Amino acid sequence: MKRTLPLLMAIVALTGIMALWVPDGRFLTPANLLDLVQQIAVNAILAFGLTLVILIGGIDLSVGAVVALVGTVAVAVLIPAGWVAAALCGLAVAGLFGWINGLCASRTRMPPFIITLATMLVARGLALRFNEGRPLPVPNQERVFLAMGNARVFDLIPVPVLLMLGAFVVTGVLLHRTAFGQHLYAIGGNREAARFTGIRLARNETVVYVLCSLLAGLAGLIHASQLYSAEPGSGQGFELNAIAAVVVGGTSFTGGTGTLPGTLLGAIIIGILDKGLNQAGVHFSLQYVIKGAVILTAVYLDVRRHQAA
Amino acid sequence: MSRFQTLHRFFHVAGATDAGSSPAQPGPAASSPGWLAGVLAGVLLATGAGCGRPPDEGAAPGSGGGRLFAVSFQTMNNPFFVDLNEGLRQVIEANGDRLVTLDAQFNSLKQKNDIADVLQQQPAAIFVNPVNWEGIKGSLMEARRRSVPALIVDAPVSDPELVLCQVASDNVEAGRLACEALARVNPGARVVILHLSVNKACIDRVAGFRAEAARHPEMRILDVQEGKGTTEGARPVMRDLLARFPDLNAVFPINDPSALGCLSAIESAGKSGQVTVVTVDGSREGVAAVKAGRLHSTSAQFPREIGRVAAEKAYEHLAGKPVDKDVQIPVRLITRENADAIPGTPPGASNAKQRPEFRMARAPGLAADR
């Protein structure tokens, strides 16, 4: 709780600033805030997975490409076989990539940065093989698939938000309420010490990469649904935006510290910045500068705090 | 708030940050104000930057009168779209209204979110240059739900039902003109096409070229290859093609950047003057190559004109007049004969009395990278 308090304060402050800055009080309307949570859903789900990976001292650069690949696979399967098969095939492809990442990271001495850089290229290339790189539309009659990204429950709560909350609860329970989660903190804190206490490093590490990829798969399904199409070129840079949410949320890049609620709040902060600056009419070039400055400040302060403690 | 006052405030808050997390008070408690101040500092910087920017970049909503218009481009990292934006802005500001420009960075999710953000502010109309001609559908449906008219600029969409109108270059004609120019100097050309096959505008250009080529029985299209629409992408492909086809004597790269790559390959293969290059764009670099006699022709597009016409269509609609669904901006063939008549580059000096065909302010570049 102590860790999340500064983040909550930052959210309150940012919301206050945007409420004053965006003209005609249009920021703090319920419709706009619902829009906000819907917009952060994909990034937050990717960030949940990356939190686990970064927590054990790893990294996964392939998530953005996996989003694109899962989208193309799912839409390609969707047209002949329906939404259940589409979702399962999409998640299976994501799981396969996670398994390869995890196997390479845990059984070899290759650095995760390079492993996932390579699998990112493989996933991107496979996605672009589909439909020669052109977007593939989702037929209008695929109501269930389209609902995943666009529908609202009771005409109010967007489905992507519910999926995001579901992913948050499942991942959060795994990380904060199980022995598995405790082991991840131990591995991230000190690998060798964790090994000597009898934690099965390789198995835990592989599971983490698989979980991260599966979450990317879920994000990919939502993304394809939101775009009414599979877009092989989409998802570029998603990994970086998700990493930004993770580090702003207080997860240390060296591993061992960080929480899932922190990541959710980090994703909200990034979302408020994106939306607020857009609505305040800030020139797009300056939006990048401001976002970069905020990330740098947040991480700097986090690092200082750890040095001091 | 002046720029200096804001800077002062920024540094003041940043100073407070240091004090807040000084090593004298370690631990999370000490960092709380630090976090807050850090984020605040960033946002204050934003406020200052927002207020202090040059007036020509469009005012923030709320800072001026008039109605709000918004445009979302697939990228602003291309002079073509910078010019198109200028064309929109001039008309909109002349009407006392304001334009917000959004850069999707080739990211369709960002484009969707950007458009959702701006729709919350109930703009008078939005202009969209879609990243993904399928994926833009959700945004267009949302605009319709809010009764905000949507106009498409430069790149077509798959579902024209959802938009008020589409304004783009006549790309079929641009390709046709290129082939016609080639046929005049080399009716029995052995030609290769360097395509960018994921791009609708380029698909149209190639269709126009092929249609015209069919009218010249002597002409042969030897091969169609991907040139990626860039100078560095086209160069190696062209070199391979020159080696593969000894009788190759003409090439149609679909835009100026790839034409420059072809020229470089032709010159390094020692075949200067033996291969006729015709292309589409009319960028500053392309026109210069035409003047130098390296490039035979380029069919010029007029991005500023696309922007101007799109903005005028929006105003016509808002005034209750019917608007054509499909507006094509004419292109113009530039060869050595008329290249000198094209004025160089008076950036920003867009004289309203100039004929649109001659308004060649900045390099148009590639119509759409995707």
Of the candidates A9, A17, A26, the beta carbon closest to that of B35 is on A9
Q: Give me the tens of pLDDT residue by residue for chain B, a chain 370 residues long.
A: 444 444 444 333 333 333 333 333 333 333 334 454 555 555 545 444 444 333 333 434 444 568 999 999 988 877 788 889 999 999 999 999 999 999 988 788 899 999 999 999 899 999 999 888 888 988 999 999 999 999 999 887 877 888 999 999 999 999 999 999 999 999 999 999 999 876 778 889 999 999 999 999 999 999 999 887 888 889 999 999 999 999 999 999 999 889 999 999 999 988 988 999 999 988 888 899 999 999 999 999 999 999 999 999 999 999 999 999 889 999 999 999 888 776 443 333 333 333 333 333 333 333 333 3
Chain pair A-B, CB pairs under 8 angstroms: 186
- Say what the pTM is: 0.74
Residue B113 contacts A where some CB pair is shorter than 8 Å: yes
Q: How far is CA B6 from CA A21, A29, A52, B43, in A?
A: 15, 28, 40, 11
Q: What DSSP state is assigned to residue A142?
A: -
pLDDT single digits (tens) B263-310: 999 999 889 889 999 999 888 888 999 999 999 999 999 999 999 999
Question: Which CA distances in Å does B34 have to A175, A248, B21?
Answer: 28, 13, 6
* Residue in B74, B133, B198, B61 with CA at minimum distance from that of residue A134: B198
Q: Using an 8 Å Cβ cutoff, are A50 and A242 in contact?
A: yes
Rounded Cα distance, B346 and B351, in Å: 10
Q: How many residues are recorded in chain B?
A: 370
Chain A residues whose CB is inside 8 A of the B106 CB are 233, 236
| B345 close to A (CB below 8 A) | no
The one-letter amino acid at A258: G
- Asked whether the beta carbons of B78 and B369 are under 8 A apart, the reply is yes
Q: How confident is the model at residue A140 (pLDDT cuts 50, 70, 90)?
A: confident
Tokens representing B359 are 């308004």
Contact status of B234 with chain A (Cβ, < 8 Å): no
Provide CB contacts within 8 A for A304, sequence distance 6+: B21, B31, B34
To the nearest 10 degrees (0 to 180), the angle between helices A143-150 and A201-226 is 100
Distances (CA, A) of B205 to A157, A249, B281, B287, B301: 45, 48, 11, 19, 12
SS3 of A151, please?
Answer: coil
Nearest-Cα distance to chain B for A181, in Å, is 23
Nearest to A220 by CA among A61, A70, A65: A70
- E strand or H helix at A154, and its extent? none
pLDDT of residue B132: 81
Cβ under 8 Å to A: B residues 212-231: none
Half-sphere exposure of B107 (CA within 13 A, CB side): 18
pLDDT of residue A134: 76
In a mutational test of the B interface, the residue from A283, A287, A289 whose CB has the highest number of chain B CBs within 10 Å is A283
To the nearest whole Å, the CA of A197 is away from the closest chain B CA by: 29
> Are B329 and B116 spatial neighbours (Cβ–Cβ below 8 Å)?
no
Q: Which B-chain residues 129-168 have CB contacts (< 8 A) with chain A?
A: 132-135, 137-138, 158
Q: How many CA atoms lie less than 13 Å away from A90 in the CB half-sphere?
A: 34
Give the residues across from B224 on adjacent strands: B193
C-alpha dihedral sign at B265, B270, B275, B279: positive
Strand partners, B139: none
Mutate to test the interface with A, among B9, B13, B31, B44 (most CBs of A within 10 A): B31
A189: tokens are 């804190």
Q: Which two tokens stand for residue A277?
A: 């600056």
- Contact status of A228 with chain B (Cβ, < 8 Å): yes
Query: In the structure encoding, which two tokens stand for residue B339, read together?
Result: 């290249």
Three-state secondary structure string covering chain B: CCHHHHHHHHHHHHHHHHHHCCCCCCCHHHHHHHHHHHHHHHHHHHHHHHHHCCHHHCCCCCCCCCCEEEEEECCCCCHHHHHHHHHHHHHHHHCCCEEEEEECCCCHHHHHHHHHHHHCCCCCEEEECCCCCCCCHHHHHHHHHCCCCEEEECCCCCCHHHCCEEEEECHHHHHHHHHHHHHHHCCCCEEEEEECCCCHHHHHHHHHHHHHHCCCCCCEEEEEEECCCCHHHHHHHHHHHHHHCCCCCEEEECCHHHHHHHHHHHHHCCCCCCCEEEEEECCHHHHHHHHCCCCCEEEECCHHHHHHHHHHHHHHHHCCCCCCCEEEECCEEEEHHHHCCCCCCCCCCCCCCCCHHHCCCCCCCCCCCC
**Model pLDDT for residues B22-65, shown as the tens digit of each residue:** 333 333 333 334 454 555 555 545 444 444 333 333 434 444 56
In chain A, which residues have their Cβ closer than 8 Å to the Cβ of B26? 305, 308-309
Residues B27, A308: C-beta atoms closer than 8 Å: yes
The residue of A5, A247, A272, A284 whose CB has the most chain B CBs within 10 angstroms, and thus the best one to mutate to test that interface, is A284
Cα of A135 to nearest chain B Cα, Å: 6
Contacts of A6 in chain B (CB under 8 A): 28, 31-32, 34-36
A5, A136, A236: residue with CB nearest B107: A236
Q: Tell me the three state secondary structure of residue A230.
A: strand
* pLDDT value for B261: 93
Reading the block at residue B140, the tokens are 């267009």
